[in-house]
Amino acid sequence: MATVLTDDDIAMAREANFVVALTGAGVSAESGIPTFRDRETGLWAKYDPVQLATPEAFERDPELVTRWYDSRRILCAAAKPNAAHLALARWERELEKRGHILLLVTQNIDRLHHAAGSRNVIELHGTLWVWRCATCGEEREERGGAFESFPPRCACGGMRRPGVVWFGESLSVDAIRRIEKALKACDLFLSIGTSGVVYPAAGFLRTAKDECARAIEINREPTPLSRHADRSWIGNAGEILTELVERAFPATVG
Ligand code: BV8
Ligand code: ZN
Protein backbone atom coordinates (compact mmCIF):
# COMPACT_ATOMS: atom_id res chain seq x y z
CA MET A 1 0.00 0.00 0.00
CA ALA A 2 1.45 3.37 -0.97
CA THR A 3 2.27 5.42 2.08
CA VAL A 4 2.59 9.18 2.62
CA LEU A 5 4.77 8.56 5.72
CA THR A 6 8.58 8.69 5.61
CA ASP A 7 10.89 7.19 8.27
CA ASP A 8 11.54 10.76 9.48
CA ASP A 9 7.79 11.25 9.97
CA ILE A 10 7.65 8.09 12.08
CA ALA A 11 10.65 9.23 14.13
CA MET A 12 9.05 12.66 14.65
CA ALA A 13 5.87 10.99 15.99
CA ARG A 14 7.84 8.56 18.21
CA GLU A 15 9.99 11.31 19.71
CA ALA A 16 7.16 13.77 20.47
CA ASN A 17 6.57 14.03 24.23
CA PHE A 18 3.69 16.50 24.23
CA VAL A 19 1.26 16.05 21.36
CA VAL A 20 -1.81 18.21 20.72
CA ALA A 21 -4.25 16.71 18.20
CA LEU A 22 -7.11 18.88 16.88
CA THR A 23 -9.86 16.83 15.22
CA GLY A 24 -12.82 17.79 13.06
CA ALA A 25 -15.76 16.13 11.35
CA GLY A 26 -13.45 14.28 8.92
CA VAL A 27 -12.34 12.02 11.79
CA SER A 28 -15.94 10.85 12.37
CA ALA A 29 -16.70 10.54 8.65
CA GLU A 30 -15.44 6.93 8.59
CA SER A 31 -17.98 6.16 11.32
CA GLY A 32 -20.74 7.14 8.91
CA ILE A 33 -21.37 10.63 10.30
CA PRO A 34 -21.70 13.26 7.51
CA THR A 35 -19.15 16.06 7.79
CA PHE A 36 -20.23 19.68 7.93
CA ARG A 37 -19.40 20.48 4.37
CA ASP A 38 -20.25 17.22 2.65
CA ARG A 39 -23.57 17.71 0.97
CA GLU A 40 -26.05 15.89 3.16
CA THR A 41 -28.52 13.52 1.55
CA GLY A 42 -32.22 13.11 2.29
CA LEU A 43 -34.27 15.26 4.60
CA TRP A 44 -31.51 17.65 5.56
CA ALA A 45 -29.97 18.15 2.11
CA LYS A 46 -31.74 21.48 1.60
CA TYR A 47 -30.38 23.00 4.84
CA ASP A 48 -26.92 24.53 5.33
CA PRO A 49 -25.51 23.28 8.67
CA VAL A 50 -23.73 26.57 9.26
CA GLN A 51 -27.11 28.34 9.08
CA LEU A 52 -28.74 25.85 11.46
CA ALA A 53 -25.91 25.86 14.04
CA THR A 54 -26.76 29.36 15.34
CA PRO A 55 -28.76 30.88 18.22
CA GLU A 56 -30.71 32.90 15.63
CA ALA A 57 -31.92 29.71 13.89
CA PHE A 58 -32.98 28.29 17.27
CA GLU A 59 -34.85 31.56 18.05
CA ARG A 60 -36.48 31.55 14.65
CA ASP A 61 -37.40 27.87 14.40
CA PRO A 62 -36.68 25.85 17.58
CA GLU A 63 -38.59 22.87 16.20
CA LEU A 64 -36.48 22.62 13.01
CA VAL A 65 -33.17 23.11 14.83
CA THR A 66 -33.93 20.58 17.58
CA ARG A 67 -35.22 18.04 15.02
CA TRP A 68 -31.94 18.46 13.08
CA TYR A 69 -29.85 17.89 16.21
CA ASP A 70 -32.03 14.97 17.24
CA SER A 71 -31.52 13.34 13.80
CA ARG A 72 -27.72 13.72 14.34
CA ARG A 73 -28.05 12.37 17.90
CA ILE A 74 -29.79 9.23 16.58
CA LEU A 75 -27.13 8.84 13.88
CA CYS A 76 -24.33 9.24 16.43
CA ALA A 77 -25.96 6.79 18.84
CA ALA A 78 -25.59 4.09 16.14
CA ALA A 79 -22.05 5.12 15.21
CA LYS A 80 -18.95 3.29 16.40
CA PRO A 81 -15.45 4.73 16.79
CA ASN A 82 -13.34 4.12 13.68
CA ALA A 83 -9.63 3.46 13.13
CA ALA A 84 -8.78 7.17 13.50
CA HIS A 85 -10.39 7.39 16.96
CA LEU A 86 -8.74 4.12 18.04
CA ALA A 87 -5.26 5.14 16.82
CA LEU A 88 -5.43 8.44 18.74
CA ALA A 89 -6.58 6.63 21.90
CA ARG A 90 -3.63 4.19 21.53
CA TRP A 91 -1.18 7.05 20.98
CA GLU A 92 -2.43 8.68 24.21
CA ARG A 93 -1.84 5.40 26.11
CA GLU A 94 1.66 4.93 24.61
CA LEU A 95 2.64 8.45 25.71
CA GLU A 96 1.05 8.07 29.14
CA LYS A 97 3.11 4.88 29.66
CA ARG A 98 6.22 6.99 29.10
CA GLY A 99 5.05 9.85 31.36
CA HIS A 100 4.22 12.02 28.36
CA ILE A 101 1.01 13.69 27.15
CA LEU A 102 -1.40 13.64 24.23
CA LEU A 103 -4.13 16.30 24.50
CA LEU A 104 -7.03 15.73 22.12
CA VAL A 105 -8.97 18.89 21.22
CA THR A 106 -12.06 17.96 19.24
CA GLN A 107 -14.54 20.14 17.35
CA ASN A 108 -16.82 17.10 17.13
CA ILE A 109 -19.85 16.71 19.37
CA ASP A 110 -20.35 12.94 19.02
CA ARG A 111 -18.08 11.70 21.87
CA LEU A 112 -16.63 8.95 19.63
CA HIS A 113 -13.16 9.81 20.95
CA HIS A 114 -14.35 8.94 24.48
CA ALA A 115 -15.97 5.75 23.16
CA ALA A 116 -12.59 4.81 21.61
CA GLY A 117 -10.86 5.20 25.00
CA SER A 118 -9.35 8.69 24.76
CA ARG A 119 -9.38 10.33 28.17
CA ASN A 120 -7.49 13.63 27.82
CA VAL A 121 -10.13 15.28 25.61
CA ILE A 122 -11.40 18.85 25.35
CA GLU A 123 -14.77 19.16 23.56
CA LEU A 124 -14.23 22.61 22.10
CA HIS A 125 -17.74 22.84 20.60
CA GLY A 126 -19.61 20.98 23.34
CA THR A 127 -21.52 17.75 22.91
CA LEU A 128 -24.76 16.46 21.45
CA TRP A 129 -25.30 14.16 24.44
CA VAL A 130 -26.02 16.97 26.90
CA TRP A 131 -29.10 19.15 26.38
CA ARG A 132 -29.58 22.43 28.29
CA CYS A 133 -32.68 24.43 29.18
CA ALA A 134 -32.49 27.82 27.44
CA THR A 135 -34.43 29.35 30.38
CA CYS A 136 -33.06 27.91 33.63
CA GLY A 137 -29.83 26.35 32.31
CA GLU A 138 -30.60 22.87 33.71
CA GLU A 139 -28.43 20.33 31.87
CA ARG A 140 -29.32 16.70 31.27
CA GLU A 141 -27.49 13.84 29.56
CA GLU A 142 -29.76 12.62 26.72
CA ARG A 143 -28.31 9.28 25.60
CA GLY A 144 -30.91 7.62 23.47
CA GLY A 145 -34.53 8.13 24.48
CA ALA A 146 -36.86 9.77 21.99
CA PHE A 147 -38.00 13.32 22.76
CA GLU A 148 -41.74 13.80 23.32
CA SER A 149 -41.75 17.21 21.64
CA PHE A 150 -39.61 19.47 19.45
CA PRO A 151 -38.21 21.48 21.04
CA PRO A 152 -38.03 19.21 24.12
CA ARG A 153 -39.26 21.01 27.24
CA CYS A 154 -37.73 21.49 30.68
CA ALA A 155 -39.80 21.05 33.86
CA CYS A 156 -39.65 24.83 34.20
CA GLY A 157 -41.41 25.13 30.83
CA GLY A 158 -38.30 26.39 29.04
CA MET A 159 -37.09 25.04 25.67
CA ARG A 160 -34.16 22.61 25.77
CA ARG A 161 -31.29 22.93 23.25
CA PRO A 162 -28.24 20.80 22.51
CA GLY A 163 -25.22 21.61 24.74
CA VAL A 164 -23.10 22.67 21.76
CA VAL A 165 -21.34 25.96 20.93
CA TRP A 166 -23.15 27.62 18.01
CA PHE A 167 -21.62 30.12 15.60
CA GLY A 168 -21.52 33.48 17.32
CA GLU A 169 -21.45 31.85 20.77
CA SER A 170 -18.34 32.05 22.92
CA LEU A 171 -16.30 28.98 23.77
CA SER A 172 -15.53 27.89 27.33
CA VAL A 173 -12.91 30.26 28.76
CA ASP A 174 -11.37 27.37 30.68
CA ALA A 175 -11.05 25.27 27.51
CA ILE A 176 -9.38 28.10 25.62
CA ARG A 177 -6.99 28.76 28.51
CA ARG A 178 -6.00 25.05 28.72
CA ILE A 179 -5.51 24.90 24.94
CA GLU A 180 -3.42 28.06 24.78
CA LYS A 181 -1.18 26.67 27.52
CA ALA A 182 -0.81 23.36 25.63
CA LEU A 183 -0.04 25.11 22.33
CA LYS A 184 2.89 26.85 24.06
CA ALA A 185 4.25 23.62 25.55
CA CYS A 186 3.61 21.02 22.84
CA ASP A 187 6.33 19.76 20.50
CA LEU A 188 3.96 18.26 17.94
CA PHE A 189 0.58 19.62 16.76
CA LEU A 190 -1.72 17.72 14.40
CA SER A 191 -4.79 19.10 12.60
CA ILE A 192 -6.85 16.08 11.56
CA GLY A 193 -10.01 15.92 9.43
CA THR A 194 -10.91 19.58 9.58
CA SER A 195 -11.39 22.11 6.78
CA GLY A 196 -9.63 24.74 8.88
CA VAL A 197 -12.27 27.47 8.40
CA VAL A 198 -13.90 27.69 11.84
CA TYR A 199 -12.25 29.90 14.47
CA PRO A 200 -10.73 29.89 17.00
CA ALA A 201 -9.86 26.22 16.24
CA ALA A 202 -8.52 27.04 12.77
CA GLY A 203 -5.95 29.37 14.36
CA PHE A 204 -4.37 26.71 16.63
CA LEU A 205 -1.94 25.29 14.04
CA ARG A 206 -0.29 28.64 13.44
CA THR A 207 -0.14 29.39 17.18
CA ALA A 208 1.58 26.05 17.76
CA LYS A 209 4.03 26.76 14.95
CA ASP A 210 4.79 30.20 16.39
CA GLU A 211 5.69 28.38 19.61
CA CYS A 212 8.15 26.15 17.68
CA ALA A 213 6.07 23.00 17.58
CA ARG A 214 6.19 20.84 14.46
CA ALA A 215 2.77 21.00 12.74
CA ILE A 216 1.20 18.22 10.70
CA GLU A 217 -2.09 18.23 8.79
CA ILE A 218 -3.94 15.01 7.97
CA ASN A 219 -6.90 15.61 5.68
CA ARG A 220 -8.56 14.09 2.63
CA GLU A 221 -7.93 17.30 0.69
CA PRO A 222 -5.75 20.43 1.06
CA THR A 223 -7.14 23.24 3.25
CA PRO A 224 -6.18 26.86 4.04
CA LEU A 225 -3.93 25.39 6.78
CA SER A 226 -1.91 23.16 4.44
CA ARG A 227 0.63 25.82 3.48
CA HIS A 228 1.35 26.56 7.16
CA ALA A 229 1.92 22.91 8.11
CA ASP A 230 5.39 21.34 8.10
CA ARG A 231 3.85 18.22 6.62
CA SER A 232 0.43 17.88 4.96
CA TRP A 233 -0.56 14.23 4.59
CA ILE A 234 -3.46 13.89 2.16
CA GLY A 235 -5.57 10.79 2.73
CA ASN A 236 -7.97 9.07 5.09
CA ALA A 237 -7.35 9.85 8.75
CA GLY A 238 -8.06 6.24 9.81
CA GLU A 239 -5.46 4.74 7.47
CA ILE A 240 -2.75 7.35 8.08
CA LEU A 241 -3.09 7.45 11.87
CA THR A 242 -3.19 3.66 12.16
CA GLU A 243 0.03 3.32 10.14
CA LEU A 244 1.70 6.20 12.02
CA VAL A 245 0.97 4.79 15.50
CA GLU A 246 1.73 1.18 14.54
CA ARG A 247 5.13 2.12 13.07
CA ALA A 248 5.99 4.59 15.85
CA PHE A 249 5.00 2.20 18.63
CA PRO A 250 5.26 -1.35 17.26
CA ALA A 251 3.29 -3.75 19.47
CA THR A 252 5.79 -5.54 21.68
CA VAL A 253 5.23 -9.26 21.50
CA GLY A 254 4.45 -10.98 24.80
C1 BV8 B 1 -16.47 32.43 18.66
C2 BV8 B 1 -20.99 22.87 17.04
C3 BV8 B 1 -16.26 34.40 19.92
C4 BV8 B 1 -22.36 22.78 16.56
C5 BV8 B 1 -19.65 24.28 15.56
C6 BV8 B 1 -15.13 35.84 10.24
C7 BV8 B 1 -13.81 35.43 10.22
C8 BV8 B 1 -13.29 34.57 11.19
C9 BV8 B 1 -14.11 34.10 12.21
C10 BV8 B 1 -15.42 34.51 12.21
C11 BV8 B 1 -15.94 35.37 11.26
N12 BV8 B 1 -17.24 35.56 11.54
C13 BV8 B 1 -17.57 34.85 12.65
C14 BV8 B 1 -16.46 34.23 13.07
C15 BV8 B 1 -16.35 33.38 14.22
C16 BV8 B 1 -17.00 32.03 13.93
C17 BV8 B 1 -16.38 31.37 12.71
O18 BV8 B 1 -15.28 30.85 12.76
N19 BV8 B 1 -17.12 31.39 11.58
C20 BV8 B 1 -16.59 30.78 10.37
C21 BV8 B 1 -17.71 30.05 9.63
C22 BV8 B 1 -15.94 31.86 9.52
N23 BV8 B 1 -16.69 31.22 15.09
C24 BV8 B 1 -17.54 31.24 16.13
O25 BV8 B 1 -18.62 31.82 16.12
C26 BV8 B 1 -17.06 30.50 17.36
N27 BV8 B 1 -17.25 31.35 18.50
O28 BV8 B 1 -15.67 32.79 17.84
O29 BV8 B 1 -16.73 33.09 19.85
C30 BV8 B 1 -17.35 35.23 19.33
C31 BV8 B 1 -18.46 35.50 20.12
C32 BV8 B 1 -19.46 36.30 19.59
C33 BV8 B 1 -19.38 36.81 18.27
C34 BV8 B 1 -18.26 36.49 17.47
C35 BV8 B 1 -17.25 35.68 17.99
C36 BV8 B 1 -17.89 29.24 17.57
C37 BV8 B 1 -17.56 28.25 16.49
C38 BV8 B 1 -18.20 26.91 16.84
C39 BV8 B 1 -19.39 26.70 15.95
N40 BV8 B 1 -19.94 25.35 16.24
N41 BV8 B 1 -20.14 23.08 15.90
C42 BV8 B 1 -22.56 21.59 15.69
O43 BV8 B 1 -21.66 20.73 15.57
O44 BV8 B 1 -23.65 21.51 15.13
S45 BV8 B 1 -18.58 24.41 14.27
C46 BV8 B 1 -18.76 23.11 13.20
O47 BV8 B 1 -17.78 23.32 12.18
C48 BV8 B 1 -18.44 21.75 13.78
O49 BV8 B 1 -17.94 21.78 15.10
C50 BV8 B 1 -17.32 21.29 12.88
O51 BV8 B 1 -16.47 20.41 13.50
C52 BV8 B 1 -16.69 22.61 12.64
C53 BV8 B 1 -15.62 22.69 11.64
O54 BV8 B 1 -15.95 21.91 10.58
P55 BV8 B 1 -14.97 20.65 10.34
O56 BV8 B 1 -14.90 19.82 11.58
O57 BV8 B 1 -13.70 21.17 9.81
O58 BV8 B 1 -15.80 19.85 9.29
P59 BV8 B 1 -15.84 20.12 7.73
O60 BV8 B 1 -16.97 19.35 7.16
O61 BV8 B 1 -15.77 21.60 7.48
O62 BV8 B 1 -14.45 19.53 7.21
C63 BV8 B 1 -14.21 18.15 7.31
C64 BV8 B 1 -12.87 17.94 6.64
O65 BV8 B 1 -12.55 16.57 6.78
C66 BV8 B 1 -12.92 18.23 5.13
O67 BV8 B 1 -11.80 19.01 4.79
C68 BV8 B 1 -12.82 16.83 4.49
O69 BV8 B 1 -12.05 16.85 3.30
C70 BV8 B 1 -12.09 16.07 5.55
N71 BV8 B 1 -12.38 14.64 5.57
C72 BV8 B 1 -13.56 14.03 5.30
N73 BV8 B 1 -13.43 12.69 5.49
C74 BV8 B 1 -12.14 12.48 5.89
C75 BV8 B 1 -11.47 13.72 5.94
N76 BV8 B 1 -10.19 13.84 6.30
C77 BV8 B 1 -9.52 12.70 6.61
N78 BV8 B 1 -10.09 11.48 6.59
C79 BV8 B 1 -11.39 11.33 6.23
N80 BV8 B 1 -11.94 10.09 6.21
ZN1 ZN C 1 -35.61 25.00 32.69
72 CA: nearest ligand 1 atom:
44
To the query of whether residue 228 is one of the catalytic residues in this protein, the response is no
Q: Name the closest ligand to CA 159.
A: 2
Tell me the mean pLDDT in the region 158-181. Answer: 97
Q: Which of 23, 35, 40 to mutate to test the pocket of ligand 1 (most atoms within 8 A of CB)?
A: 35
For residue 97, report the distance from its CA to the centre of ligand 1, in Å: 33
Tell me the mean pLDDT in the region 100-108. Answer: 98
Q: Name the closest ligand to CA 152.
A: 2
Chain center to CA of 146 = 25
Q: Which residue owns the Cα nearest ligand 1 atom 7? A: 199
Q: Which residue owns the Cα nearest ligand 1 atom 15? A: 199
Q: What is the per-residue pLDDT for 42? A: 64
Q: What is the per-residue pLDDT for 50? A: 84
Contacts of 137 (CB under 8 A, 6+ apart): none
The band of 213, judged by pLDDT with boundaries at 50, 70 and 90, is: confident
pLDDT at 33 over 80: yes
Q: What is the per-residue pLDDT for 59? A: 97
Q: What is the per-residue pLDDT for 212? A: 77
User: Which of 85, 113, 125, 228 is labelled catalytic?
Assistant: 125
Contact between 37 and 107 (Cβ < 8 Å): no
Q: What is the per-residue pLDDT for 204? A: 98
DSSP-assigned letters across all residues of 171-227: PPHHHHHHHHHHHHH-SEEEEES--S-STTGGGHHHHHHHTT-EEEEEESS--TTGG
For residue 98, report the distance from its CA to the centre of ligand 2, in Å: 46
pLDDT at 47 over 90: no
Tell me the mean pLDDT in the region 122-126. Answer: 98
pLDDT at 203 over 90: yes
Q: What is the per-residue pLDDT for 1? A: 54
